[in-house]
A = this chain, B = another copy of it.
């Protein structure tokens, strides 16, 4: 496995691999690799000749210096993890290589970047879109794999790639979950043990709404109530948002669901000491398809 630190070296290798006819898949990550990332590597491996993983904690997409400094960094384990998974290249640039003193150019994504985390975290998706474009220009992959856990991020990247006419296929891969249903996230390790237990409320909220839909509840407000009620059972949970959005455009949904809708959750979990500075924000989502609910009844 090669570990590459500069854009120029990665681009030169990409040119050689492409000229030799090899198909390159990129898996962009911020490190702190877990089984969710490895599932992306598996998807990449099935679709390409070369699997490249980038590990870069993009400082511009964090909401605060504190949030950035708390983000787990486990470089040596990550590299070993990639070796074990048969990754061909790890691109692990220093910060200056990716966000130098220049860095004044931003990719402003359109509609999918506006609601949900776009409203909660101003500037977040601009930073994500910009770094992903830079990674795609650095690795020149034929395809890039992103987790559906970050559904809105995936939607934003799809729209940027489509709008700019990037010659790369964007592949979404299903969320990987713990035994109790909590979606894997590098942020889970930051949870207080009690908050970790309560965090199962997220998947219970998704299950509750999906179950209600399957029982014939198409009313968006009532579906949201079902989800919210589950989260409110967790005393350490503070809701950032619980929303239904069109699954494709992320625009608003009708009062009664007609088209596939994204149920998206973002919830802070406090520690029992209620130290708000140590709250961990988790997200999760599920696409609710009213057409499938109708046909399965």
- By beta carbon, the residue of chain B nearest A14 is B167
Q: Chain A 18-40, CB within 8 Å of chain B: the 1/0 string?
A: 11010000000000000000000
Please give the residue numbers on chain A whose beta carbons come within 8 Å of chain B beta carbons, in ascending order: 7, 11, 15, 18-19, 21, 98, 102-111, 129-130, 133-134, 137-138, 140, 159-160, 162-167
Residue from B18, B104, B159, B165 within 8 A of A109 (CB atoms): B104
Query: Complex: how many Å from CA A137 to CA B140?
Result: 11
> Can you name 9 extra interface pairs (CB under 8 A) apart from A105-B109, A137-B167?
A19-B19, A102-B110, A103-B163, A104-B110, A105-B163, A105-B164, A107-B108, A134-B164, A134-B165
Give the Cβ gap from A159 to chain B, nearest Cβ, in Å.
6
Given A133-B164, A134-B165: A105 in contact with B159 (beta carbons within 8 A):
yes
Residue from B21, B134, B159, B165 within 8 A of A19 (CB atoms): B21
Residue from B21, B110, B137, B166 within 8 A of A165 (CB atoms): B137
* A109 surroundings in chain B (CB, below 8 A): 104-105
* A129 surroundings in chain B (CB, below 8 A): 105
* A103 surroundings in chain B (CB, below 8 A): 110, 163
Query: Complex: how many Å from CA A107 to CA B15?
Result: 25
Interface CB pairs A-B, < 8 A, 28:
A7-B165, A11-B167, A15-B18, A18-B18, A19-B21, A102-B110, A102-B159, A103-B110, A103-B163, A104-B109, A104-B163, A105-B110, A105-B129, A105-B160, A105-B163, A105-B164, A106-B108, A107-B107, A107-B108, A108-B108, A130-B164, A133-B164, A134-B164, A134-B165, A137-B166, A137-B167, A138-B165, A140-B167
